[in-house]
């Protein structure tokens, strides 16, 4: 599997990056309001994970309702969920000669470390491993 992705003899370094917390935040369903929250509308924001932990997204051009995501949608997009916390998957970046690099994502840091050990055994090289 490893040899099909790149020439292992060209490896000059490997970086293992631990999983990291994303900005997705779980928010409960909430009734929409207007005029500084004094008046309730007959509409609701759905419960779910919101990208920046807010029911609305605002930019210079204005504000609009943010999209919510279900746990299944986030898992299918490659995130790791633990309760209401959403993490990016750990990954390994392999640096090759001529400024080429390849990145692989894993479900756990242990899987990433095992993949790097197989890579070392396959290449027969001792290359620098950077943990972040």
DSSP string, 3-71: HHHS-GGGEEEEEEE--EE-S-EEE--EEEEETTTTEEEEEEEPSEEETTSSSEEEETTEEEEPPEE-H
- On whether both 29 and 80 belong to a single domain, the answer is yes
Counting the structural domains of the chain, the total is 2
pLDDT tens digits for 74-86? Answer: 999 989 999 899 9
Q: Tell which wins on pLDDT, 123 or 93.
A: 93
- On whether both 79 and 106 belong to a single domain, the answer is no
**Contacts of residue 107, Cβ cutoff 8 Å, sequence gap at least 6:** 80, 89
Query: What residue numbers bound the domain in which 104 lies?
Result: 2-19+89-131
Q: Which two tokens stand for residue 77?
A: 């997009």
Residues above pLDDT 70, as percent of the chain: 72
pLDDT tens digits for 32-73? Answer: 666 666 666 667 567 789 887 776 677 666 666 678 888 999
CA distance 8 to 43: 57
Instruction: Decide: 86 and 24 in contact? Cβ < 8 Å.
Output: yes
Average pLDDT estimate for 101-129: 85
Number of Cβ atoms within 10 Å of the Cβ of 55: 15
Number of Cβ atoms within 10 Å of the Cβ of 14: 22
- On whether both 7 and 58 belong to a single domain, the answer is no
Q: Which two tokens stand for residue 59?
A: 């930019």
- On whether both 10 and 33 belong to a single domain, the answer is no
Average pLDDT estimate for 6-21: 86
């Amino acid at each position: 599997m490893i040899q099909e992705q790149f020439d292992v003899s060209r490896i000059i370094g490997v970086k293992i990056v631990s999983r990291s917390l994303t900005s997705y935040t779980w928010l409960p369903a909430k009734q929409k309001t207007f005029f500084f929250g004094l008046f309730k509308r007959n509409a609701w924001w759905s419960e779910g994970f919101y990208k920046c932990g807010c029911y609305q997204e605002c930019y210079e051009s204005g504000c609009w309702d943010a999209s919510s995501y279900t746990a299944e949608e986030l898992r299918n997009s490659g995130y790791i969920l633990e309760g209401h916390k959403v993490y990016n998957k750990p990954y390994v970046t392999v640096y090759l000669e001529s400024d080429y690099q390849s990145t692989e994502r894993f479900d756990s840091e242990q899987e990433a470390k095992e993949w790097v050990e197989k890579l070392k055994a396959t290449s027969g090289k001792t290359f620098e491993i950077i943990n972040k």
